[in-house]
């Protein structure tokens, strides 16, 4: 019997008085006993929530009952324990931070790439005139990505617009974009269209839906997710491991956060190095006075960090 569900979803839909909506929505989620992380903006919702099957069904029913969110597509995972410790609902300027805030230029409610269902994506992805484009960040595609995908050296999705010129060589191709659940592709594909790319597509429901509906064929490695699982399996057809331990170079698909909260770097690390380094990415982090206790998972509840810390990635992407 399923103990808990974890829901991944988003919906671009205008929310008036979104800040008040966020406060009310937090109370509603807590009333259902859910844990998770939801971002609310004037442009819509982006969330991952976890709870009992009954609580998750009640949540999905409530979202679908709101005429603004009837088209919301929920990806549902069965899990042994809740994927979060607390429930957070926060108001922000965007539901995925891109820096593209002019609705007259980029508005997923008006124009995006053509949505491909997983079966259609699978059928098209190996065509000669197709380029598969990963629009996720370095730490995400380092642990898993589609075979032959073009990846970008970006720390955050907000860096994506600056990489458009690097993609100019593919303007005569069909561009198939993908991300974890589909939300980043909505703005990435819209920007590509705005910049003159004509044949732009996106994987509807992202990697997660692709794994559920067509078995995840040719997705190599694991998929990074934004909860305490950190990564999930996707490929049941021809699975492989593409990532290596940041410390020793041994093949591993285990993703962790550095135990030093002032670093908190996402990186792949084998269990042996995890034990030797206390879950840290470097000796400097291992000796840091604020180092957290490493329990083997590499996941930590977020804690406030000093405002003067400048984080710089130390990961080399293969």
Q: 155-202, pLDDT tens digit by residue?
A: 999 999 999 999 999 999 999 999 999 999 999 999 999 999 999 999
Report the distance separating Cα 29 and Cα 218, nearest Å: 36
Q: What is the pLDDT of residues 31-48, one digit of tens each?
A: 999 999 999 999 999 999
pLDDT: which is higher, 171 or 314: 171
Active site residue 179: yes
Averaged confidence pLDDT in the chain? 92
Annotated catalytic residue within 29, 56, 179, 185: 179
User: Domains of the chain, with CATH numbers?
Assistant: 4-91 (3.30.70.100), 114-224 (3.40.250.10), 243-318 (no CATH)
What pLDDT is stored for residue 214 in this prediction?
97
Q: How many CB atoms lie within 10 A of CB 293?
A: 8
- Confidence label for 100 from pLDDT (cuts 50, 70 and 90): confident
Inform me whether the pLDDT recorded for 303 exceeds 60: no
Write out the two tokens for 19: 């800040």
211 near 124, Cβ under 8 Å?
A: no
Give this prediction's pTM: 0.87
Q: What is the pLDDT of residues 247-256, one digit of tens each?
A: 999 999 999 9
Nearest to 297 by CA among 252, 258, 243: 258
What pLDDT is stored for residue 177 in this prediction?
98
What pLDDT is stored for residue 302 in this prediction?
61
Report the distance separating Cα 78 and Cα 99, nearest Å: 34
Nearest to 224 by CA among 165, 268, 263: 268
């Amino acid at each position: 019997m399923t103990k808990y569900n974890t829901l991944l979803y988003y919906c671009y839909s205008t929310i008036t008085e979104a800040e008040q909506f966020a406060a009310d929505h937090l109370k509603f989620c807590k009333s259902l006993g859910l844990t998770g992380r939801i971002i609310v903006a004037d442009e819509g919702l982006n969330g991952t929530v976890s709870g009992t099957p009954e609580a998750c069904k009640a949540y999905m029913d409530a979202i679908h009952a709101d005429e603004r969110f009837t088209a919301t597509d929920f990806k549902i995972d069965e899990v042994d324990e809740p994927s979060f410790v607390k429930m957070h609902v926060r108001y922000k300027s965007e539901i995925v931070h891109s820096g593209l805030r002019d609705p007259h230029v980029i508005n997923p409610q008006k124009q995006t790439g053509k949505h491909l269902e997983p079966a259609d994506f699978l059928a098209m992805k190996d065509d000669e005139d197709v380029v598969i484009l990963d629009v996720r960040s370095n730490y995400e595609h380092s642990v898993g990505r589609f075979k032959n995908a073009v990846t970008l050296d970006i720390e955050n999705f907000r860096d994506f617009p600056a990489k458009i010129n690097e993609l100019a060589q593919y303007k005569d191709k069909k561009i198939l974009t993908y991300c974890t659940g589909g939300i980043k592709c909505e703005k990435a594909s819209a920007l590509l269209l705005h910049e003159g790319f004509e044949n732009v597509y996106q994987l509807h429901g992202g990697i997660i839906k692709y794994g559920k509906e067509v078995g995840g064929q040719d997705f190599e490695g694991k998929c990074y997710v934004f909860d305490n699982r950190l990564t999930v399996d996707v490929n049941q057809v021809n699975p492989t491991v593409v990532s290596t331990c940041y410390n020793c170079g041994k093949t591993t698909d285990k993703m962790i956060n550095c135990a030093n909260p002032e670093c908190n770097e996402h990186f792949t690390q084998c269990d042996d190095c995890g034990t030797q380094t206390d879950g840290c990415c470097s000796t400097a982090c291992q000796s840091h006075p604020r180092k957290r206790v490493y329990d083997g998972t590499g996941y930590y509840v977020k804690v406030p960090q000093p405002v003067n810390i400048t984080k710089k990635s130390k990961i080399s992407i293969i």
